[in-house]
Chain A
C-alpha cells in the first residue's frame, strides 16, 4: 500500500509539474508556411472575438470577402461570450496561447499593449490613422503615440436619448423640435413623468444607470469647461467647480421629481428594461439597445426615436470610449497576413461600411460618417440619424489606468449616492477624485 501511495503521489506531482511547465509555454497558434498574401502558400489565421450575432455575422462576411480574394488564406473565427472573452484574453495572452487576430474593445487595447503587435508603418502611420478615423474610436488603439490596431465601429452611449414619442405627444411635448437647453429638456421630462403621492411610477428621463450616469457627468464636466485629467494626464481632476456644475445639472432632475434614483438605477429598473416596459418615457443608452429589445417589445420600438441631448454651455462635446476593432498578437507568425486582413476590413471605406451595415454599428471612419454610406446606414437603421450629428464631438475618454473601475466602482456609486442624498457634493467629489487617482497605482 505504501508503494501504491508513493506511485499515486508521484503521478500527481508529475501532473502538477507538467501543468506548471506548460503554463508559460508559447504555443504557436498557426501553422503558416508562407509569410502572407501573394505568396500563394497556404496561411491559416485564428481570429478571436466576443460573441454577438451581429458582429460575428459581419466578421464572417468580411472573412468570406477577404478569402475570396486570397484563396490561400484561411481565417478561423472563434467567439466567446463577453465575460469568458475577457477571462480568455487575460489567461491566454500571458501564456502566449492567443489567436493571431484579436478583437479588442478600444479601451482595453493599451492594457494589453505588451502582448500586441504595433501597426506596421506600411499599413498606416499613427498620424494617418488619426485623420482617417474619428478621434474617439482611434484613441483607444493609440498608446503613447503607437498604434496597435483599428476600430470597426464608434461605440456611443451618449449624445442622444431614447424618446417614447407616444408618451411625449400625450404629454404635449414637441419632441421633434428637440431641446436647446437643459432647462427646457428637464421641463419636458417632468411633463413625461408619472408620479403618485411623490412616488415616481414612470420616470421622464432615466440617466441613472451606471453608464448613463458616468457618461452624463463626465460629458457635462467637459462641456462646463473642465477636464477629467490634468494636462499631462497623470491625475484626475474631479473635485473642481466644473464638476460641481456638471453634477448640479443632474441633481436638478432629482430635485424636480423627474427621477427617483433609488427606484431607477443600474440594478433597479435598468434603463433598457425600464424603457421597453414603459416605466421610462426617455432613457440614456446607446442605439444598440433597440435591436436587443425590439423583438420583445415591438409596440414600444415602433414609437421610439432618438433625439439629441441639448448642448450645455454652448458645447455638445461628450466623452466616448472607442469601439470594437481588431489587433494582432505579438506572437503571430503570420502577422503580415493578419494586418492585410485588418486593413482590408477596417481601412478600406467600402469594406468598413459593409461591416457597419451588417453589424448595425456606427462607422469609425470619418469618410463613412457622411454621404452615401451615412444615408445607407440611416435608411437601414433610422435610430442612427441623430448620432451622426454628434460623432465629431466625441472626445476619447483617454487611456485611463482602469476605465471600468473608474466607471463602475468609483464614479457611478458616488454619483448615485450623491443623487440619493447619502453623500454631500463635497464628500462625493473628494472621494471620487481620491479613489480615481489611486487607480494610477
Chain B
C-alpha cells in the first residue's frame, strides 16, 4: 500500500500526523461530539440512564426541547431559562464593549510606542505586555483588593480626594448602574482590559513595523498631516491586523470565565452572569449537563456568526 518513495513519504506523514490526530480526536473531537449529543437529552450524571453511554431511561431524549425553552420569555419561565437570557445579554454587552475599548486603547498606544526611540519602545512594550503573563485568578484577586469597599485602593483614593469617607461596593451593589450597564460588569471589564491589552499591542506594533516607509514617505511628500497619514495611510494598511485582533479579542471576550468566577461569581443579582459561568454552573454545580450542552452550542453559534460578520466587514482585497 505504501511502497516506493511515495510510500515512504506517506508513511512519514502518517507517522508524524497520527499522534496529533489521535490527540485531537480524543481531547477535542470526542468531547465536541459528546456535547452536541447531550444537547438533545435531559442528561444529568446523577441519574441512571441506559447502559449505552448513560443516555435514555432517566436521562431521556428531548430533541429540540432545550432550544425551544430558550425562547420562553414569559415571566414564569424556569430559573435556568431566565438566567440564560441574562447570561446572553451580559455576554454580548461585555464582548461588544471589550472589542472597541481594547482597540481604542491599543491602536493609539501602539502608534505612540512605535514613534518613540528603540530603547524606550522595548521598555514600554515589556511594561504593557507584563499583565498578559499574570494568571487571571491573580489578576482577579489584585483587582479585588483595589475595589474592596473598606480597604480598597480606589475608595481610599476617593476618600482622600473628596475628604469624605467613601465606601462604595464596586462589585456587589446591584443598584449601581451606568447607562444601563452594571458597575460590577464595568469593574470586571476594567480588570480584563488591563490584563489583555498587551496581546493586541504587540500585534499592532508588529503590523505598524511592517508598513513600508515608502508609503508613509509618499504621503508626507504629498503634504499629508500626521493625522491624515494615520487616517488615510496607516489605518487602512492595518485592516488585516485589526481584523485579526478584533476576532481574537471577541472570541476571548466570549470565553472569559476566571475573572467573573473569582471577582463576582455572577453577582450581584446575576448582573455579571456570562454564558461561560452559566454553562459551568449548570453542568458541574447543578448537574444539568443536557441544558449546559445546549447553552454551549448557542455560545458556539454566537461566536461563529459574529466572527464571520467581522471577517466579512474587515476583508481586504489587496496586499502590500
In Å, the complex CA distance between A369 and B126 comes to 61
**A268–B172 touching, CB < 8 Å:** yes
In Å, the complex CA distance between A375 and B169 comes to 44
In Å, the complex CA distance between A297 and B150 comes to 18
In Å, the complex CA distance between A127 and B233 comes to 85
Mark each residue of chain B from 254 to 294: 1 if its CB lies under 8 Å from any CB of chain A, else 0: 00000000011101111000000000010011110100000
Closest to B173 in A: A262
Partner of A267, one of B51, B171, B286: B171
Partner of B287, one of A90, A265, A267: A90
Which of A193-201, A237-245, A384-392 is the contact stretch? A193-201
**B54–A402 touching, CB < 8 Å:** no
B317 at the interface (CB under 8 A from A): no
A435 at the interface (CB under 8 A from B): yes
Cβ–Cβ < 8 Å partners of A15 in chain B: 21-22, 25-26, 30
Closest to B49 in A: A94
**Can you name 19 extra interface pairs (CB under 8 A) apart from A15-B22, A95-B54?**
A8-B14, A15-B25, A15-B26, A16-B25, A19-B26, A89-B45, A90-B45, A201-B165, A201-B167, A262-B175, A263-B149, A263-B169, A265-B172, A267-B264, A267-B268, A268-B169, A268-B171, A413-B269, A413-B270
B1 at the interface (CB under 8 A from A): yes
Closest to B175 in A: A422
Among B24, B53, B149, max chain A CB count under 10 A is at: B149
CB-based closest 10 A-B pairs: A90-B45, A268-B172, A94-B54, A114-B48, A15-B25, A199-B167, A111-B46, A12-B25, A19-B30, A262-B173
**A114–B29 touching, CB < 8 Å:** no
Q: List 18 A-B contacts (CB under 8 A).
A: A4-B17, A7-B10, A12-B29, A16-B30, A20-B53, A24-B54, A94-B49, A111-B46, A114-B47, A114-B58, A267-B267, A277-B151, A279-B151, A410-B79, A417-B269, A420-B175, A422-B175, A438-B79
Mark each residue of chain A from 252 to 269: 1 if its CB lies under 8 Å from any CB of chain B, else 0: 000000000011011111
Q: Of residues 390 to 413 in A, which have CB atoms within 8 Å of B's CB atoms?
A: 402, 404-405, 408-410, 413
Q: Of residues 139 to 178 in B, which have CB atoms within 8 Å of A's CB atoms?
A: 149-151, 164-165, 167, 169, 171-175
Closest to A438 in B: B78
**B30–A20 touching, CB < 8 Å:** yes
Cβ–Cβ < 8 Å partners of A200 in chain B: 167
**B172–A16 touching, CB < 8 Å:** no
A87 at the interface (CB under 8 A from B): yes
Closest to A439 in B: B79
Known contacts A8-B14, A19-B30: does B267 contact A196 (CB below 8 Å)? no
Among B24, B49, B78, B169, max chain A CB count under 10 A is at: B169
**B46–A112 touching, CB < 8 Å:** yes
In Å, the complex CA distance between A266 and B269 comes to 12
Q: Give the secondary structure class of A's interface.
A: helix
Partner of A435, one of B25, B79, B173, B269: B79
**A196–B1 touching, CB < 8 Å:** no
Residues of B participating in the A interface, judged by any CB pair closer than 8 Å: 1-2, 10, 13-14, 17-18, 21-22, 24-26, 29-30, 33, 45-49, 51-54, 58, 76, 78-79, 83, 149-151, 164-165, 167, 169, 171-175, 263-265, 267-270, 281, 284-287, 289
Partner of A24, one of B51, B150, B171, B284: B51
Known contacts A16-B33, A268-B169: does B53 contact A24 (CB below 8 Å)? yes
Q: In whole Å, how far is A262's beta carbon from the nearest beta carbon of chain B?
A: 5
Partner of A268, one of B46, B48, B149: B149
Mark each residue of chain A from 3 to 33: 1 if its CB lies under 8 Å from any CB of chain B, else 0: 1100110011001100110011000000000
Closest to A110 in B: B46
Cβ–Cβ < 8 Å partners of A279 in chain B: 150-151
A235 at the interface (CB under 8 A from B): no
Partner of A11, one of B22, B171, B265: B22
Partner of A409, one of B25, B149, B284, B286: B286
In Å, the complex CA distance between A8 and B29 comes to 14
Q: Of residues 146 to 190 in A, which have CB atoms within 8 Å of B's CB atoms?
A: none
**A417–B149 touching, CB < 8 Å:** no
Closest to B270 in A: A413
Cβ–Cβ < 8 Å partners of B46 in chain A: 90, 93, 111-112
Q: In whole Å, how far is A213's beta carbon from the nearest beta carbon of chain B?
A: 13
In Å, the complex CA distance between A47 and B48 comes to 22
Partner of B285, one of A19, A95, A114, A404: A404
**A93–B45 touching, CB < 8 Å:** yes
Mark each residue of chain A from 67 to 103: 1 if its CB lies under 8 Å from any CB of chain B, else 0: 0000000000000000100110111011100000000
In Å, the complex CA distance between A262 and B184 comes to 12
**A8–B17 touching, CB < 8 Å:** yes
